[in-house]
Amino acid sequence: MDNETEQRGRQQGATDDTASGRRPTRRQVLAAGAAVATAAVAGCEGITEQSFEASPVTLPEDSRETLQLGELVAESQTISREAGGAEITITNHVAVYSRGAWLAAEGE
């Protein structure tokens, strides 16, 4: 084999994707991609349903008396959204206090 033919063989081998000099088929590439995707999501079946809930925070009665605050509102709000096959539920608790509400309660 002459030097020129040997160089061409090396150049062609450099563009091939495998050590055997053959390029992978489309089917092999898709199979490899499917294997990687399967491994990536293994054990993630619970990811489609997520739920988050804030802990309710309220002022104890004796602290409200000390601070002269009355409770105006104490409520919970739940929001659910679904997108891309996943469902997320968020629950938020809200409490609103006011000095005016305390004064009105004291005046009764």
Domain-by-domain residue ranges, the chain? 1-42, 46-108
Predicted confidence (pLDDT) per residue in 28-82, tens digit: 877 887 777 766 666 565 566 778 888 888 889 898 888 888 888 889 989 998 8
The answer to whether the CB of 80 falls within 8 A of the CB of 87 is yes
Q: Do residues 26 and 63 make contact, with C-beta atoms less than 8 angstroms apart? A: no
pLDDT of the residue at 16: 47
| pTM given for the model | 0.43
pLDDT at 12 over 80: no
- Spatial distance between the Cα atoms of 74 and 93, rounded to a whole number of angstroms: 7
What is the reported pLDDT for 102? 67
Encoding tokens for residue 107?
Answer: 């005046």
Spatial CA neighbour of 21 closest among 29, 30, 8, 12 = 12
Is residue 11 very low, low, confident or very high in pLDDT (cuts 50, 70, 90)? low
* Rounded Cα distance, 51 and 32, in Å: 34
